Amino acid sequence: MLDVQALPLPYFLLRARVAGMDPAEPGQFVMVAGANRPEPYLRRAFSVYDQEPASDGSLVISLLGKVIGRGTEALAECVPGERIPVLGPLGTGFHSVADGASTSGRAALVAGGIGSAGLGLLAHALERAGRSFDFFYGGRSAEDLVEAETFRRLSEQTGGRLVRTTEDGSAGERGLITTPLEEGLRAGTGYTTVFTCGPHGLMAAVARIAAAAGIAGEAATETPMGCGYGACLGCAVTLKNGGYALCCRQGPVFRLEEVAW
Amino acid sequence: MVSAGASSLASPDLSTRVGPLRLQNPILTASGTFGYGLEFAERADLHRLGGLVTKGLSLEPLAGNPPVRIAETRGGMLNSIGLQNIGVDRFLSDVLPGLKDLPPKVIVNLFGYAQDEYVRLAERVDPYEGVAAVELNVSCPNVSKGGIEFGHDPDVLSGLVRRVRSATGKPIVVKLSPNVTSPQALGRAAQEGGADILSAVNTFVGMAIDTATKRPVLSTIRGGLSGPAIKPLALRIVFDVAREVDLPVIGIGGIETVDDVMEFLLAGASAVQVGTALFRDPRTAERLVDGLRARLRAEGVPSVDSLIGAAARPG
């Protein structure tokens, strides 16, 4: 663990050097826990928000977190130099990036608050691939748009832009982030794909909007996880076909139309 | 005959005999905590396990329970997975070939909704050489009309085991429920039916409530509690069962450290199954093999055998 950068409360950015870890694909995650802590008992799943290879061959990963309970608290309290357990990369990332399919046309990335952590690697990958995207960033309040400047820079480098909304109007337009997304679609912005990560209600709304607009999309979902690697079978996501998929193996990224929102 | 000094330097003998089973070491993975083993070959060194107990298998594949299926608790977790599994036939055709030549003994956990289903499952696996034993799940708390009814009534249990006994020559392990007044009485019933080995214990029935939504966390309301929180409870049951039933016992319940393993051996278990701790770290079981070897060497204990049941003997 290299450092924990305290962002405006309750957010934090944790950077860790992990020996022998393969780079994560956009949407993949790691299971982590605070150092030497018996509690909370289970590790926590974190999207790999950013990563870079270190000169010694290890991988430096960045995890963007929000303190919401005992697990995230333990991580936010890590001190530089502490050794923390990291298992990963885990799960299935964004298919349309991995497949190299539907890589043309503009993309809309829709994040709700800390859901932006799940779209970090994707934004970098799109930027590197030269694919234009707009980043829709919604939160309750200005401090929930904790990485707004990063996503502004990345989206503008692709010729796109950052669109912000907050429920209290403290940053961007007052309201929900789905409103400018729908307006953009009506105005003919030419999005061919929408990617989303955030609260369940947001992702469900994005799925409805994408279906209505006839565009493809994917969501990086989240469920409570026991192990993160497919052993406990605890992280079932209900699919439209009536079956279940494991968030940690078949997910966490699912095509929007697959999931029974 | 080697001197005590020399034996403390020699590599301790970790092998253990559990009834008819000979294991290279006493550390197994518990049913439902490590899938079918093979799919985690890259995350753990399967070769070093003493044994591997599969996820509970039924005649037909099962999709499992709707979410929410797990809830973290202090020192453990509740689960209500609902026996999601690929079905016995797919296990035998797709998974077993990859497992059968590995050193760990493969114990196939079987689950049925009716006695006939247990019998048919036992018949299905009986011809397969790679199956070292069957473990009967008669104590899963998470399926409404499920195995638990077989594991709570001594007469029903001995009858069930007797029928399975006639269907297979494989060693039969009966996994005991802790959710009864006297697990040892059920252990005796299993023995009467012809069981070779008891494993103890399955999860403890519990629940959790979300204070925000004011609703039970799990979709099935009740779930099975596992993890370090249950260790002293499980240890007591293993101690009683090992003393009162004349069958070898495999200890299960919150095992995560070498001390935990030692405690269960001293209580009378001939081997242990590691479960929930694998969720924290898929290498827990092999870590315990190394740790146990180092501990026995440091203490000059020549073999696992010499520990088994030592706490029950007059000091």
Q: Is the pLDDT of residue A101 over 50?
A: no
Q: Which of A39, A43, A232 sits opposite B33 (nearest CB)?
A: A232
Considering only CB atoms, A244 lies closest to which of B63, B71, B280, namely: B63
The CATH number, out of the four listed (3.40.980.10, 2.60.120.1440, 2.40.30.10, 1.10.3720.10), of the domain defined by the range A3-90: 2.40.30.10
B68 and A231 within 8 Å at the Cβ level: the answer is no
Nearest by CB: A238 against B67, B77, B278: B67
The single-letter code of the amino acid at B158 is S
Quickly state the pLDDT bin for A99 (edges 50, 70, 90): low
Crossing angle, helix A120-129 and helix A148-157, to 10 degrees?
A: 20
pLDDT on residue B7: 47
- Given a contact cutoff of 8 angstroms between Cβ atoms, the answer to whether A203 and A196 are in contact is yes
Cβ distance B139 to B179 under 8 Å? yes
- Encoded tokens for A128: 């590197």
Would you give the distance in Å from CA B268 to the centre of its chain?
15
Q: What percent of chain A has pLDDT over 70?
A: 97
- CB-based contact (8 Å) between A87 and chain B? yes
Contact assignment for A40 to B72 by CB distance below 8 Å: yes
Q: Would you tell me which residues 76-105 of chain B have a C-beta closer than 8 angstroms to some C-beta of chain A?
A: 76-77, 79, 81, 84
A 10 A CB-CB count for A169 gives 12
Residue B67 touches partner A, C-beta closer than 8 Å: yes
Q: How far apart are CA B228 and CA B311, in angstroms?
A: 21
Q: Per this entry, what is the length of chain A? A: 261
Which tokens sit at A237? Answer: 């996501």
Hey, which bits of chain A come out as E strands?
3-6, 11-18, 29-32, 44-47, 50-53, 59-66, 86-90, 106-112, 133-139, 162-166, 173-174, 191-197, 216-220, 236-238, 244-246, 253-255
Measured in angstroms, the CA of B86 and the nearest CA of chain A are apart by 12
Mutate to test the interface with A, among B40, B280, B281, B284 (most CBs of A within 10 A): B280
Q: pLDDT value at position A50?
A: 97
Q: Whole-angstrom Cα distance, residue A77 to residue A36? A: 12
Per-residue confidence (pLDDT) for residue B198, from 0 to 100: 98
Question: Considering only CA atoms, which of B141, B273, B271, B249 is closest in space to residue B195?
Answer: B249
Give catalytic status of residue B140 as yes or no: yes
Burial class, A67, CB count within 10 angstroms (exposed 0-12 / middle 13-18 / buried 19+):
middle
State whether A244 and B66 contact (CB < 8 Å): yes
Distance to chain B for A243, nearest Cα, Å = 7
**What are the chain B neighbours of A230 within 8 Å (beta carbons)?**
35, 39-40
SS3 (DSSP) at A227 = coil
Could you say which of A41, A231, A234 has the minimum Cβ distance to residue B282? A231
Q: Between the CA of residue B54 and those of B30, B157, B202, what are the distances in Å?
A: 7, 21, 14
Weakly modelled stretches of chain B, pLDDT under 50: 1-8
The answer to whether the CB of A165 falls within 8 A of the CB of A177 is yes
Query: Which residues contact residue A77 at a Cβ distance below 8 angstroms, ignoring those fewer than 6 apart?
Result: A4, A34
Model ipTM?
0.92
Using a CB-CB cut-off of 8 Å, the residues of chain A touching B276 are: 41, 226
- The answer to whether the CB atoms of B72 and A223 lie below 8 A apart is no
pLDDT tens for each residue of A180-197: 999 999 888 889 999 999
Q: Which helix (H) or strand (E) holds B304?
A: none
For residue A184, give Cα distances in angstroms to A130, A174, A187, A190, A257: 21, 16, 5, 9, 21
Taking each helix axis from N to C end, the angle separating B258-267 and B231-244, rounded to the nearest 10 degrees, works out to 30
Give contacts of A 216-255 with B, CB under 8 A: 223-227, 229-238, 243-244
Whole-angstrom distance, CA of residue B190 vs CA of residue B162: 8
Q: What string of DSSP letters covers B140-176?
A: -TTSTTSTHHHHS-HHHHHHHHHHHHHH--S-EEEEE
- What is the reported pLDDT for A2? 85
Chain B 247-306, CB below 8 Å of chain A: which residues?
A: 276, 278-282
**Nearest-angstrom CA–CA distance, B118 and B163:** 9
Beta-carbon contacts below 8 Å between A and B = 90
pLDDT digits (tens, 9 = 90+) for A196-239: 999 999 999 999 999 999 999 999 999 999 999 999 999 999 99
| CA pair distance B305, A92, nearest whole angstrom | 45
Subunit contact B77:A41, Cβ cutoff 8 A: yes
Q: Are the folds of A3-90 and A95-258 the same? A: no
Under CATH, what is the fold of the domain A95-258? Rossmann fold (3.40.50)
pLDDT value at residue B140: 67
Of B69, B79, B281, nearest to A85 by CB-CB distance is B281
Per-residue DSSP letter, B46? G
Closest CA in chain B for residue A89? B43
- A119 pLDDT higher than 90: yes
Distance CA A259, CA A256 (A): 6
User: Of B52, B140, B200, B308, which one is the catalytic site residue?
Assistant: B140
Q: Where are the domains of chain A?
A: 3-90, 95-258
B41 three-class SS = coil
Q: How far is B304 from chain A (nearest CA, A)?
A: 28
Q: What is the pLDDT of chain A when averaged over all its residues?
A: 93
Q: Cβ B70–A230 below 8 Å, yes or no?
A: no
Residue B73 touches partner A, C-beta closer than 8 Å: yes
pLDDT greater at residue A76 or residue A46? A46
A246-261: per-residue pLDDT in tens? 999 999 999 999 999 9
- CA of B281, closest CA in chain A: separation in Å? 8
For residue A110, the one-letter residue type is V
CA distance A83 to B281: 15
Which domains are delineated in chain B?
Answer: 4-64+82-204+226-312 (3.20.20.70)
| Residue of B39, B110, B76 whose CA lies nearest to B275 | B76
What DSSP state is assigned to residue B12? P
Q: Which two tokens stand for residue A224?
A: 């409570």
Rounded CA separation A242/B66 (Å): 10
